[in-house]
Structure 1
Amino acid sequence: MTATLLGAAAGAAAAVGVLLVVVAWWQVRRPTPAMRVDPYLSDLVPVRTRASSTVGAVYGPWLRGAAELVGRLTGGTASVERRLVRLGSPYGVDAFRVQQLAWGAAGFAAAAVLAVLVWSTSGGSPVVLLTLCGVGLVGGVLGRDSALSSQVARREERLAEEFPAVADLLALAVAAGESPVAGLDRVLRVLRGALADELGRVLADVRTGHTVPAAFDALASRTGVASIARFAEGLAVAVDRGTPLVDVLHAQAADVRESARRELMESGGRKEILMMIPVVFLVLPVTVVFAFYPGLVGLRLSS
């Protein structure tokens, strides 16, 4: 059995080596313009950049093709692109698909190791073991998608928590006589967090030539937090029409705090039954035992 496993591993390694050689030969046989120009720029381009570009040239087409296949199988790129924008991620859909491939390969490897251990110890049906490997592959791909959704949800929770303080600080800066852009710049000097990154993008858009209403409209379109979207839209309208900004900002902060309080009360109401479980099954039985046990002992002694 051990010799069979070693032979299977050696055969798989040889097959992977042959595949890599064929892929590299095919890429060198049809070089891209970047590969043609790269030798003439060897004294200008760092060695790490040249190595990464060579690796990308050799394996990039295969990875992009596999990533496109994963995208078609998982339902397109619109949802992923929207979630990446809401996350503020620096990479795009193609890089995310490559990460999904990596997660899928890790899941397949873990399932394959488990299948080999089961087969070497107690045997089993090859169909079941292959199905287990397929489940590991699919689970890894879908797990990366689920992790992206969880990251987006956690980031939006942080944005909602940071927003009231930021709105109050911006209202104070505007009330002191500064413009919205100058007040935003002053707030960003002392602010750290996810919301600071989003407002930093707004400030960068304004400094690169966008109007203030357009920059805040872009913030409203890319965020998934309703309160921040309303804040950005209200601020854009206030700047565009000359509405007093201080009242708008204070009203937005008060609205967010009231919304957070209402959500907390609703969450407490939904978890009221769960909160009764320790009371009914732990506290109440202990109370009953402490109340009746001394009387029961007294009855036994008297009898």
Structure 2
Amino acid sequence: MSPWWLGGSLGTLFGIGLLLVVRRVPFLHKPSVDDRISPYLRDLSGPEVFVGVTSSSSPFHALMRLFEPSLRNGARRLERLLGGAASVRKRLARAGIDRGVEEFRIEQVLWGAAFFGIALVMSLIALTAGKGNPLGLIIFCAVAGVLGVLSRDTYLTSQVRRRERRLLAELPTVAEMLALAVAAGEGPAAALDRVARSSRGELAQELQRVLAETRAGESLVRALDALADRTGLVALSRFADGLAVALERGTPLADVLRAQAGDIREANRRELIENGARREVAMMVPVVFLVLPVTVVFAFFPGAVGIRLMAG
């Protein structure tokens, strides 16, 4: 590694550290109105941001509390840059994650910092070994940080899809259990309570939330409508709407639940057949691009060698 590049890198790191220190000097940092009145309004502050991001017993909790102002500023800037708070809030609800948008943005900042740190260590190792262009490595670190931020968003989408698959898998069984409970003579609320207490899974937790809303004074129909809006699944929305219509109009609830369970199982069967057809097409890719060329090479190689020997 050239001494000029080593000196420049050390000088840059020293300058960044000095800038961070100067920015934290008290007489240069004018406190905002929120900072001045927040100690007197501690009981009215919002929920702890780092609940769910890291546990209070974790050794990283103190480190995160130390960098809390920087993380909050980074989360706010990331929110202004990316936007889409409504979409993030909706996906968090569909994934069953009890966090706010600010907590999710802080996680994105942490993921970006982690990716940037890994790329920085790799770049320093490459520079120490005398390989790589410093400008290219700086761009590589920046791209890694951006990929870290976007990776957390992609992971949230995958969490939503996994939870939706679990909900769809549990829905036919829960519908049949509700139909049995209603046919045995229990009311809709009592049947929901029995099924929620006797089953485990994502849908059971949603039913417990519906019952908690009804105990808080909300009507069962509105709680079921909120369940349909919160999950965003067509099958679950149809299930909640069928329950609501049956409760409002007096339709036989057990027959409605059995019919919905049958429809959901048939939809799952169709989806399984469609996935199998798509996987069958995807299986042709290694056959065409790997197995077939190797077969052709094995078939023509002896003939090509024989022709070359005869020509020689």
User: Does TM-score exceed 0.5, indicating one fold?
Assistant: yes
Partner-residue secondary structure (3-state), 1:32:
helix
Which of 254, 260, 266 matches 2:274? 266
Counterpart of 2:137 in structure 1: which amino acid?
A: L
Q: CA RMSD in A?
A: 3.3
Q: 8 Å contact 2:23–2:29 — kept in the other structure? A: no
What's the counterpart of residue 140 of structure 1?
148
TM-fit CA distance, 1:99: 0.6
C-alpha distance 181-29 of structure 1, shift in aligned 2 (>3 A) = closer
Of 75, 80, 96, which aligns to 2:104? 96
1:184 aligned onto 2:161: no
CA contact (8 A) 1:24 1:58 kept: no
Cα offset, 1:18, TM superposition = 4.1
2:272 and 2:135 map into 1 onto residues whose CA distance is: 50
CA distance in 1, matches of 2:196, 2:202: 11
Amino acid at match of 1:76: G
Q: 2:164 aligns with which of 144, 153, 156?
A: 156
Q: Using the TM superposition, give the Cα deviation of residue 96 of structure 1 relative to its aligned residue in structure 2, in angstroms.
A: 0.3
Q: In the alignment, is residue 66 of structure 1 matched against residue 78 of structure 2? A: no
Deviations 1:206-242 (A, max 9, x none): 1111111100000111113211111001111111111
Which of 34, 37, 55 lines up with 2:38 in the alignment?
34
Q: Determine the C-alpha separation between the residues in 2 that align with 1:200 and 1:103.
A: 33
Do the aligned partners of 1:162 and 1:195 also contact (CA within 8 Å) in 2?
A: yes
Alignment CA distance shift 1:124-1:278 (3 Å)? closer
* Distance in 1 of aligned mates of 2:109 and 2:284: 45
Tell me if 1:83 matches 2:91: yes
Q: Percentage identity across aligned positions?
A: 46
Q: Judging by fraction of residues, say which structure has more helix.
A: 1
Q: 1:29 to 1:175 in 2, by over 3 A?
A: closer
Match of 1:203 among 207, 211, 215: 211
Give 1:250's aligned amino acid.
R
Aligned residue identity for 1:92? G
Give the equivalent residue in structure 2 for 1:107: 115
- Residue 231 of structure 1 pairs with residue 239 of structure 2: yes
Aligned residue for 1:168? 176
In the alignment, which residue of structure 2 is the partner of 1:254? Answer: 262
Alpha-carbon distance, 1:79 to partner:
1.5
Aligned to 1:244: 252
Assess, with a 3 A threshold, how the Cα gap between structure 1 residues 3 and 72 changes in structure 2: closer, same or farther: closer
Moved over 3 A (4+): 1-32, 55-60, 62-65, 273-282
Structure 1, unpaired ranges of 5+: 39-47, 290-303
Distance 1:23 1:260 in 2: 65
SS of equivalent residue, structure 2 residue 217:
coil
Q: Tell whether the 8 Å contact from 1:167 to 1:252 is kept in structure 2 after alignment.
A: yes
Deviation track 1:179-204 (CA, whole Å, cap 9, x = no partner) reads: 11111111111111111111111111
Structure 1 residue 63, shift from structure 2 partner: 3.4
**Distance change >3 Å, CA 274–CA 58, structure 1 → 2:** closer
Aligned residue number for residue 225 of structure 2: 217
Secondary structure of 2:176's counterpart equals helix
- CA distances 1:61-113 after superposition (whole Å, capped 9, x unpaired): x5344223212332421211110111121111111001101111111111111
Task: Mark the CA change 1:28 to 1:72 in structure 2 (over 3 Å): closer, same or farther.
Answer: closer
One-letter amino acid of the counterpart of residue 218, structure 1? A
Map 1:42-53 onto structure 2 (within 5 A): none
- Using the TM superposition, give the Cα deviation of residue 268 of structure 1 relative to its aligned residue in structure 2, in angstroms: 1.5
CA separation of 1:66 and 1:58: change in aligned 2, threshold 3 A = closer
What is the Cα deviation at residue 19 of structure 1?
3.7
Displacement, 1:27?
A: 4.3
Q: Please give the alpha-carbon distance, in whole angstroms, between the structure 1 residues aligned to 2:98 and 2:21.
A: 33
C-alpha distance in 1 between matches for 2:216 and 2:200: 22
**How far 1:276 moved relative to its partner?**
5.8
**Do the aligned residues in 2 keep the contact of 1:27 with 1:58 (CA within 8 Å)?**
no
Provide the C-alpha distance between the structure 1 equivalents of 2:154 and 2:27, rounded to a whole number of angstroms.
32
TM-score computed with the length of structure 1 as normaliser? 0.78
The total of aligned residue pairs comes to 272
> Given residue 243 of structure 1, which amino acid in structure 2 is its aligned partner?
T
Q: Secondary structure at the match of 2:129?
A: helix
